Chains A and B, each alone.
Chain A
Amino acid sequence: MPQVALTVNGKKVTVDVEGRTLLVELLREKLGLTGTHVGCDTSQCGACVVHLDGTSVKSCTMLALQAAGRSVITIEGLAKPDGTLHPMQEMFREHHALQCGFCTPGMVMSAIDLVQSHPEGLSEQQIRHGLEGNLCRCTGYHNIVKAIAAAWPLMHGKAMPAAAE
């Protein structure tokens, strides 16, 4: 069986995988990181989103072997070692942006990438557009959109500029 070496949440790991093993299967089944979820089999729900070298990817859509030598951050790796939550996690809690919690890990990972990649600011429409790849059946998205807008200033350390519509 081939082996893959990668960094997950800052720790180096080497794991035996089949060629067809998906990254999400490696995380959930080999490493016990069950915070990353599987909500579909057609790459459409975003429950499985993790960061690969800082960018969000659907971990059900890539092979574990493709992550060789790269750095993966999952929802378990977001909080500081002392347990302090990432501002995005905090704002999700503050604005009641989760109900059943199943879409939440993927939603939070996508949201962080969205905010990081828009230093110029984000309008409500841009946030809604940016979340297109993540399904939530519980919240109607209203509070998720609010939480992301509230996390922007915390992550960028300044007030959000009025974004271009």
Chain B
Amino acid sequence: MAFEGIGASVRRTEDQRFLSGRGNYTDDINRHGQLYAIIRRSDRPHARIVSIDTKAAAEMPGVVAVYTGTDLQADSVGGLPCGWLIKNKDGTPMAEPPHPVLAVGKVRHVGDPVAVVIAETRQQAKDAAEKLAIEWQDLPSISSTQDAIAPGAALVHDDVAGNVCYDWHLGDKEAVDAAFAKAARVVRLDLTNSRLIPNAMEPRAAIGDFDRATGEHTLFTTSQNPHVIRLLMGAFVLHIPESRLRVVAPDVGGGFGSKIYHYAEEAIVTWAAGKLARPVKWTAERTESFISDAHGRDHVTTAEMALDKDGNYLALRVQTLANMGAYLSTFATSIPTYLYATLLAGVYKTPAIYAEVKAVFTNTVPVDAYRGAGRPEAAYLLERLTDVIAHDTGLDRVALRRQNLIPANAFPYQTPVALQYDSGNYQATLEAALTAADWNGFPARRTAAAAKGKLRGIGISTYIEACGIAPSAVAGALGARAGLYEAANIRVHPTGSVSVFTGSHSHGQGHETTFAQLVADQLGIPFNQVEIVHGDTEKIPFGMGTYGSRSLAVGGSAMVKAMDKIIAKGKRIAAHLMEASVADIEFKNGSFSVAGTDKSKSFGEIALTAYVPHNYPIDELEPGLEENAFYDPKNFTFPAGCMVAEVEIDRDTGVPSVVSFVAVDDVGRLINPMIVEGQVHGGVAQGIGQALLESAAYDVSGQIVTGSFMDYTMPRSDDLPSFKTGNEVTLCTHNPLGVKGCGELGTIGSPPAIVNAVIDALSEYDVRHIDMPLSPQKIWSIIAAGPKRRAAE
């Protein structure tokens, strides 16, 4: 049998069912007697609800119930909670306006849910929802981030002055001011980080069910973290004790962050199923996804770097305006603070950093974590700023990076923005990426492209990310309202096969394979004897789910801890069976042996003895072989790397195409290199999407103008090249596996590499910066304006 342990590219267990059409996604589930819910949403950005007449809708054929916000309020349904409290500079708490499940009194964005119609069939519910008569009084609205803080701006929430959720800062302002005062040069860059729509291919869906016999509520939902949903919805919204609420997240068709949050529809179907004592199903249509899934990014930033005369970074000053949308989504507030400002050192040894972040409300869909969450914004800022410094000073962009990198011998490295990096080698990834991309051979490729009438450019970016937010106590001190550990339960069955119950959730990451490899490797048993169970609060221990590239670093570490307990107990059983002392028992390759002898017992024999304890140390040891563990990490993990992109631009149309892309990453130890590579591909594709194609746009009246796949440009196969990937490995020093995480790095490192490449391609036009997405129109207008544009200005 081929090696299937740690480091092998084992083909995925889950593929068999996905490839044969036997996946089990939420919308594939149908409960007996199921009703269908259709949500009527606001088509206005900001309006008072004068009245809702439900009579005509309620009389439509098949309609079972129509509910509005007032009905939920009358039943004491609470609002959707925010999971992270940020404090203002002056120590006061952020503004936290109510987020009703169905709008009450006012709607605040296009897509805000107003009423739900429940009927025997989906079509009946749809037809009836159109009969709801809503009288509106339109209010002035705010559709852009900057407009939120303009003097006299309309208020999204009447009692949130100036639309400011919080005004927060991090770092040493005095040290930064002092460094700027003595700097040889200051380079400033204003940039935006564009607003994105995650668009997992599976639209969100939820089914509420209620068992009259037991009083138990069940929610099937497209979630990345079923226990988090159970906690938030049970405790804050519907007031159902955990013991009466089961949340199941079955196969989930991609998340990218957008399926972390507790959404209104989950509460609506769970509540309505209880009221009607019948299952209620809701499935988003894609158009609804665009106006109800949390969006990502949306920063407006000014960054300044103070430099000495040789181009060494002395201090970084950053001011960011972050759009929260109309309400606070579950983790929205933590993204532009603890997942962004803390990353502003990047891979550089900048000694002083000061960041101010103002979060604002607007009449737009709530914004929260989207793959990378805060870290792409930090990397984009640093890597664009570095290229702009090179542009303004004439220094070489690669040399500038090399000279400012944190040296490989400086770990653990304390940054000026709170984080301590445990390990890394940024020189190694940089040099490997330059070699793989044949950086030095670029001039010849540019000349060849020019001969074909194309503008060719090359761009580089370095990046770092912080994965597996931790430890719980530190996050708690910073405002997190949840723990950030992970749980695992390992159940060894009598004949030695193993079920692993994990709090992590797989929605494309291949956990059923990677985790099984890990467990098979450590217990020395065949891969196919390990089963991974996730996604059902009735089966798994209380876990925090999957986001922030935490599953292996945190969830995998919990498994290692549980396996250590299994092995320790197995040694005691083995010692008894072989009449040896426990200290003399060694466990290796699936067998327990007495050191220095040829006596040994297989893992299966020990398991059987644990469950058939005839010859067993019953006075000192309980029967059975099953262990639980919770792992609370000591620190974040810090994957890092370097990406190099090459683009060619068609002079006549301004269309850029990515002709080569190299990513060299350090994600620590690799368990399944094939899966890691796949994660890099997918992340890079999304990053290229942000750089060149994607952008969520609102018009001045507050209508979303990119509300379908016809208007929001998703990367398609012919927009992308094949990718070249590589790895350099430094081990994480504080988790038992040495792993760092790989889920988000693609979206973090790639946007600046692409933008830097396009700007390099346009070097004859002397472009300093262009905001994403770099559309053909933006590029074409630069080309059309002609060279020496800047001189003429």
Chain A interface (Cβ < 8 Å from any Cβ of B): 18, 20, 28, 33-42, 44-45, 47, 74-76, 78-79, 85, 89, 92-94, 96, 98-105, 108, 124-125, 127-129, 131-132, 134-145
Question: Does A141 lie within 8 Å of B11, measured CB to CB?
Answer: no
CB-CB nearest in chain B for A32: B30
Question: Which of chain A's residues have a CB closer than 8 A to the CB of B613?
Answer: none
**Nearest Cβ on chain A to B750's Cβ, whole angstroms:** 10
Distance between Cα atoms of A40 and B562 in the complex (Å): 42
8 closest Cβ contacts across the A-B interface?
A35-B21, A102-B253, A101-B18, A140-B685, A100-B508, A75-B21, A140-B681, A99-B508
Question: Which of chain B's residues have a CB closer than 8 A to the CB of A143?
Answer: 678, 681
Stretch at the interface among B130-138, B199-207, B264-272, B639-647: B199-207
Q: List 26 interface pairs A-B (beta carbons < 8 Å), by A numbering.
A: A35-B20, A38-B27, A41-B286, A42-B287, A42-B710, A45-B709, A75-B19, A93-B16, A93-B19, A96-B675, A100-B200, A100-B202, A100-B507, A102-B202, A102-B254, A103-B201, A125-B718, A129-B718, A135-B709, A135-B716, A137-B201, A139-B678, A140-B682, A141-B720, A142-B723, A143-B681
Distance between Cα atoms of A139 and B201 in the complex (Å): 12
Given contacts A18-B123, A101-B18, 5 further A-B contacts (CB under 8 A): A85-B20, A93-B12, A108-B19, A128-B720, A141-B717
With A85-B20, A140-B723: A96-B201 Cβ-Cβ less than 8 Å: no
Question: Which of chain A's residues have a CB closer than 8 A to the CB of B18?
Answer: 98, 101, 104
Residue B684 interfacial (CB < 8 Å): yes
With A41-B285, A89-B19, A141-B720: A96-B678 Cβ-Cβ less than 8 Å: yes
Distance between Cα atoms of A74 and B318 in the complex (Å): 54
Residue B377 interfacial (CB < 8 Å): no
Residues 353-408 (chain B) with a chain A CB within 8 angstroms: none
CB-CB nearest in chain A for B506: A100
Question: Which of chain A's residues have a CB closer than 8 A to the CB of B708?
Answer: 40-42, 44
**Nearest Cβ on chain A to B81's Cβ, whole angstroms:** 27
Distance between Cα atoms of A92 and B435 in the complex (Å): 31
Query: Residue-by-residue, is B10-53 near A (CB-CB < 8 Å gives 1, otherwise 0)?
Result: 01101111111111010110000000000000000000000000
Residues 666-687 (chain B) with a chain A CB within 8 angstroms: 674-675, 677-678, 681-686
**Nearest Cβ on chain B to A58's Cβ, whole angstroms:** 13
**Nearest Cβ on chain B to A59's Cβ, whole angstroms:** 13
Question: Does B23 lie within 8 Å of A96, measured CB to CB?
Answer: no
Question: Which of chain B's residues have a CB closer than 8 A to the CB of A33?
Answer: 21
Question: Which of chain B's residues have a CB closer than 8 A to the CB of A101?
Answer: 14-15, 17-19, 23, 251, 253, 508
**Nearest Cβ on chain B to A60's Cβ, whole angstroms:** 10
**Nearest Cβ on chain B to A81's Cβ, whole angstroms:** 13
Distance between Cα atoms of A37 and B23 in the complex (Å): 10
Question: Does A135 lie within 8 Å of B722, measured CB to CB?
Answer: no
**Nearest Cβ on chain A to B2's Cβ, whole angstroms:** 13
CB-CB nearest in chain A for B687: A140
Distance between Cα atoms of A142 and B508 in the complex (Å): 16
CB-CB nearest in chain A for B23: A101
With A42-B286, A45-B709, A76-B20: A135-B11 Cβ-Cβ less than 8 Å: no
Distance between Cα atoms of A139 and B510 in the complex (Å): 12
Partner of B716, one of A34, A93, A132: A132
